[in-house]
Amino acid sequence: MAGGGSRRCRRLEAEAARAVLGAADTLLFDCDGVLWRGEAAVGGAAAALGRLAAAGKRLCYVTNNSSRTRAAYTEKLRRLGFPPAEPRHIFGSAYCAARYLRQALPPGAAAYVLGSPALAAELEAVGVPHLGPGPAALPGPTPADWAQAPLDPAVRAVLVGFDEHFSYAKLCQALRYLLRGGPDCLLVGTNRDHRLPLEGGTAIPGTGCLVKAVETAAQREAFIVGKPNRYMFDCVVSEFNIDPARTIMVGDRLDTDILMGNSCGLTTLLTLTGVTTLDEVKGHQEIVGISVVGVLSFSPSSAQAGSQLVRLTVQGQQDPLRNQTALVDKSRSTVTYYITSQSNHTAVVLYDSRNGYVCYKPVEQHVCYLRRMDAWDLQTLQMTLNTSEQRGDQLLRQNNQTEYYREFLGILARQAVDPKSLGEAVQTLCEQTSIFWVRRGEGPGKQRLIYLCIDICFPSNVCVSICFYYLPE
C-alpha cells in the first residue's frame, strides 16, 4: 500500500511501485516483521533491498527493538544477505534512547537502566553513565530493607528497554529513583510494543509491558523514544539530509510504523509480512492526517506531493503538542482517529454513524469506552467525511480560530457490555478488550480523580479534551 501521487491507499502493483519508488531517494525500513522474523529473513526482502541499493536509494533502518546495538544490526543485515549497511544507517530504540538522554541530562548525570547489554553499550558510546543492566536481587529479606538500599546520587533518569532480567527488585529500585528525584528524574521508555512476534506465529511479551509496570508504580507517564513518536524520524534527519516528500516509511504495523510515517509527512508502505493484516487495512478508503502542533496553516509540501494526507497545523498557546490521523471509511460510515498525546500515549476514537456509537480506546489499556452518538457527533462526522475530499487551502479559508472545550465522561464500570450487539466496527476495535458504557457528566468532583483525558481536534477547528472518571459504584 502506498501514498504519494494518490490520496487513496492502494496495492503496490508493478507500475505503481515504479512510480512510488522513482519519486523517492530514501527508504526507512522497520526490521522485525518486515526484513526478518526472529532469525529468519522474510522471503524476497534481501533481494528487494539489494535492487533498491543498486538503484542508488539510501536505505535506513528504524526499529523499536532495543535488544541490539547499531553494530549488531549491521552484522545481522549482513548475515541474512541484506545489502551492506553502516552503523550510522541504523536507528534502533537503544541508540535513539541513548542520544535522547545525552541531550536531556546535565553533564555527569547517570541513568538507572532496565534493559539489555545493548542498551548499556549505546549509552556508553554517547558517554552517559549508567547502572542496572543484568540480574538484580532484593537487598534483604524485608520491605524495610528494600526501601533503604543505597541509591546512586548521580542518577537523574530511569530508562526502560527490553530486559530479560526484569524483576521486582529492579522495579523497586526504579520507583525509588523516581520518587527521590520527582520531576527532576526523567522516565524514558524505548517503546510500547506489547509483544514481539516470532517465527511460527508465536510471540513473547514486549517492552511495553515493562514500561507499563514502572509507570504504574510511579504514577507518571514515560517519554517514549520509539515509533509512533516522531523522535526516531528526528534522529534520522539529524544524521542525513532527508526530504520527507522523497522518503518512504516501510513497515508492518499501522499503529507504529505507518502512524509515524503519516505524522512525519512520509509516503508509507505497509508490508503484509508481520503484525497488521489485510483485513485490518481493508475498507480504509482514504486517509486524512491532521498534525496538530500548536493558528491553522496549511503545509504546502503535502499539497505539492499530492499525497493521501490532508495535513493541518493548528497552533494555540493552550494546545499541547500531539499528532492525530483520521482514517475515513465511507463504505462503513466510520471515521477512526488515531491520537498520540504530548506524553506519547496513543488513543483510538471511533465514530460509527451506521450503528450510532462513539467508542474510545486508550491503546495501552485493554478497555473500550462507549457512548451513543448525538446530533453534534453526527455533524462532526459529516464534516470529517466532507473534509476528506477537500483541499487543504479550502480548509484554510474556512478556519482561522481554534475553539477549545473540555468534556467529562463518567465510566459505568459495574457491568461490561456484550460486543455482539454493537456492530462490526466497534467489535473489531475492541476485540479481546472489556467494553464499558460512559455517560456525559458535570465532572468528577473533588473526591474523585480524572482517570485519563483524550485530546482530539476536528476539521471544524474545535478541539475537545475528553476526560474520563469513574462514577460511584
Report the site for Mg ion in 272-291 (rule: CB under 5 A).
Answer: 274
369 near 451, Cβ under 8 Å?
no
* CB closer to Mg ion, 252 vs 255: 252
Taking contact as CB under 5 A, which single stretch among the options 84-92, 175-183, 248-256, 296-304 is the one that binds Mg ion? 248-256
Taking contact as CB under 5 A, which single stretch among the options 25-33, 176-184, 304-312, 430-438 is the one that binds Mg ion? 25-33
Is residue 255 near Mg ion by the rule CB under 5 A?
no
Select the residue whose beta carbon is closest to Mg ion and give its number.
33
Of 425, 240, 401, nearest in space to 349 by CA? 425
User: By rule CB under 5 A, what count of residues binds Mg ion?
Assistant: 5
438 near 371, Cβ under 8 Å?
yes
Residue 199 CA to residue 40 CA, distance in Å, equals 7
The DSSP secondary-structure symbol of 68 reads S
- Residues 429-468, one symbol each (x = binds Mg ion by CB under 5 A, - = not), give ----------------------------------------
Is residue 319 near Mg ion by the rule CB under 5 A?
no
Is residue 252 near Mg ion by the rule CB under 5 A?
yes
Active site residue 252: no
Contacts of 420 (CB under 8 A, 6+ apart): 427
Is residue 193 near Mg ion by the rule CB under 5 A?
no
Strand 434-441 relative to strand 367-372, pairing: parallel
Buried b (16+ CB within 10 A) or exposed e, 279-303: eebebbebbbbbbbeeebebbeebe
Residue from 21, 24, 27, 33 binding Mg ion (CB under 5 A): 33
User: Which of these is catalytic: 25, 30, 184, 234?
Assistant: 30
Taking contact as CB under 5 A, which single stretch among the options 23-31, 263-271, 375-383, 441-449 is the one that binds Mg ion? 23-31
User: Which of these is catalytic: 32, 252, 329, 455?
Assistant: 32
Active site residue 30: yes
Residue 295 CA to residue 399 CA, distance in Å, equals 9
Of 128, 114, 68, 111, nearest in space to 92 by CA? 68
CB neighbourhood size of 374 (10 A): 12
Contacts of 18 (CB under 8 A, 6+ apart): none
Phi-psi region of 214 (alpha: psi -120 to 50; beta: other; left: phi over 0): alpha
The distance of closest approach from Cβ of residue 251 to Mg ion in the complex, given in angstroms and rounded to an integer, is 6
Residue from 2, 20, 27, 32 binding Mg ion (CB under 5 A): 32
* CB closer to Mg ion, 33 vs 261: 33
The distance of closest approach from Cβ of residue 197 to Mg ion in the complex, given in angstroms and rounded to an integer, is 8
The distance of closest approach from Cβ of residue 99 to Mg ion in the complex, given in angstroms and rounded to an integer, is 21
Taking contact as CB under 5 A, which single stretch among the options 67-75, 219-227, 246-254, 370-378 is the one that binds Mg ion? 246-254
Distance of CA 357 to the CA centre of its chain: 25
* CB closer to Mg ion, 30 vs 352: 30
Is residue 30 near Mg ion by the rule CB under 5 A?
yes
Taking contact as CB under 5 A, which single stretch among the options 108-116, 267-275, 276-284, 323-331 is the one that binds Mg ion? 267-275
CB neighbourhood size of 11 (10 A): 11
Binding site for Mg ion (CB under 5 A): 30, 32-33, 252, 274
Which residues are marked as active site? Answer: 30, 32
